[in-house]
Chains A and B, each alone.
Chain A
């Protein structure tokens, strides 16, 4: 997940995710909708990302990042513009996925950190 998100502002939240998901062929459309609903964007499926707050866009980018198979996932400041509740939801979704795939998770942050069960924390 990119720090600058790299979403396409003219495309809706759903289209942004499907653009990646169809390339990877990973999740079903319903599964994507469910994830969006869990991060609080159930009512924003057709809203162009350009009209969303940065926090909402972060959650779209987070869901998009999960729409592919991976052994490691690198999240660059995923919750810099999110409150604790939303960060907790994202943390739970990520944990489920990590346990399911047995994948490694690497998170960077400046200031507010994604709440997670880290094996190691490095301060640079």
Chain B
């Protein structure tokens, strides 16, 4: 009742045009920010989330194969990284860690069956130190709880390039009338690995437990591969042909790419993809920045509106204070108004973003198979947090101004 009387008194002189301006500008900014944030999350999930091997900021490099290498290869000489080259990479400011790929130095072939088709083929295996496999990586498939194996393990987890599965699903399976396979289904496929060298033969069961876009090899756990090399190829040694780098440089720092280009090292996967990724991130930040600018303008517009309202109602506010109303109670009347305005506009922005954004994500899903949008509730959460953030700022401004009017 008292609050009702206060509202009746203090809401007078509200400028509907100013409120309308705030609503339109903030709605525009809010929708842009929310769509930008959602696009950022979707894009981030699309570009980094699906890679189950290497964490964001890591890349695999190798040396280009030239005709001279081919000839040298006939004499057992292959392009590899010398210890001096590795040391130079380690000393780069933007490189935080360098790991060497170790290759299985003797024969292995894999056998598996898809439908009636039984396939047995020579393969190759590599390993990288375990710290380059994402810490939160959880292997796919039954029976796999972690990325590790030794000589006594029953089943060996392996990670294959995503391209292999795409090649099967969109090429082989389609042309042969075979079923397409999901990640989960592939992970329960029984595979047998036959290892053989002059030191003996051994068979292991294996399961595909992950996929990577960043390398073109089949990966097994580091300890397992080194133990196999030690037992079945003890006298073989070679310099690493591939390295894995972890860079702590920001997405906008191109110096590492400049260095790699200068040295003519190749980035596995697609380096231009990484550059495009960086460009898209930059564009999204610009979009979010523009949206935020609109929101900031709307915030300032509401601040000016409320300050004008308080100025127009200055006498009433002072009279209320004179008859015993505290600054907090008087300010609360205006704080409620700004809270309602902020919540309304951000909820409306979230509603509009929820309607508008799927049009964009639908387009993305069409042009990029495998694109799975992050749930839109993130937009609602962000909208709510934004509303509370701006309402808190408005509340602080209102309180200070009311206090000033009351001359406390």
Residues of A within 8 A of B (CB): 2, 6-8, 10-11, 15, 18-20, 22-24, 64, 68
Contact = CB atoms under 8 A, between A and B. Distances in A.
Interface in B1-21: 1-2, 5-6, 8-9, 12
B319 to A, nearest CB: 4
Interface string B306-343: 00000000001001101111000000000000000000
A68 B5 contact: no
- The DSSP consensus for interface residues of chain B is helix
Contacts of B324: 20, 23-24, 68
Nearest to B6: A19
B322 A2 contact: yes
Interface centre among A2, A8, A68 (most CB of B within 10 A): A8
A102 to B, nearest CB: 22
A29 B39 CA distance: 59
B9 A11 contact: yes
Contact of B2 (A6, A8, A23, A64): A23
B24 to A, nearest CB: 30
B375 to A, nearest CB: 47
Contacts of B12: 10
Given A8-B316, A11-B5, A11-B9, 17 more contacts: A2-B322, A6-B319, A6-B323, A7-B319, A8-B319, A10-B12, A11-B8, A15-B5, A18-B1, A18-B5, A19-B2, A20-B324, A22-B2, A23-B324, A23-B325, A24-B324, A68-B324
Contacts of A7: 319
Nearest to B1: A22
Q: Give chain B's interface residue range (CB within 8 Å of chain A).
A: 10 to 19
Contacts of A10: 8-9, 12
A69 B378 CA distance: 53
Interface of B: 1-2, 5-6, 8-9, 12, 316, 319-320, 322-325
27 contacts: A2-B322, A6-B319, A6-B322, A6-B323, A7-B319, A8-B9, A8-B316, A8-B319, A10-B8, A10-B9, A11-B5, A15-B5, A18-B5, A19-B2, A19-B6, A19-B323, A20-B323, A20-B324, A22-B1, A22-B2, A23-B2, A23-B323, A23-B324, A23-B325, A24-B324, A64-B323, A68-B324
A6 to B, nearest CB: 4
B328 to A, nearest CB: 13
Interface centre among B6, B320, B322, B323 (most CB of A within 10 A): B323
Contacts of B322: 2, 6
A-B pairs, 4 with minimum CB distance: A6-B319, A22-B2, A20-B323, A19-B5
A39 to B, nearest CB: 19
A19 B6 CA distance: 8
A36 B190 CA distance: 94
Nearest to B319: A6
A58 to B, nearest CB: 15
Interface centre among A6, A19, A20, A22 (most CB of B within 10 A): A19
A8 B323 CA distance: 11
A20 B5 CA distance: 11
Nearest to A67: B323
Contacts of A68: 324
Contacts of B2: 19, 22-23
B318 to A, nearest CB: 8
Nearest to B326: A23
A18 B6 CA distance: 11
Contacts of A22: 1-2
B78 to A, nearest CB: 89
A117 B2 CA distance: 36
A22 B5 CA distance: 11
Nearest to A23: B324
Contacts of B320: 19
A8 B321 CA distance: 13
Nearest to A61: B323
B10 to A, nearest CB: 10
Contacts of A64: 323
Contacts of A8: 9, 316, 319
A7 B323 CA distance: 10
B9 to A, nearest CB: 6
Nearest to B3: A22
A122 to B, nearest CB: 25
Nearest to B12: A10
A19 B2 CA distance: 6
B324 to A, nearest CB: 5
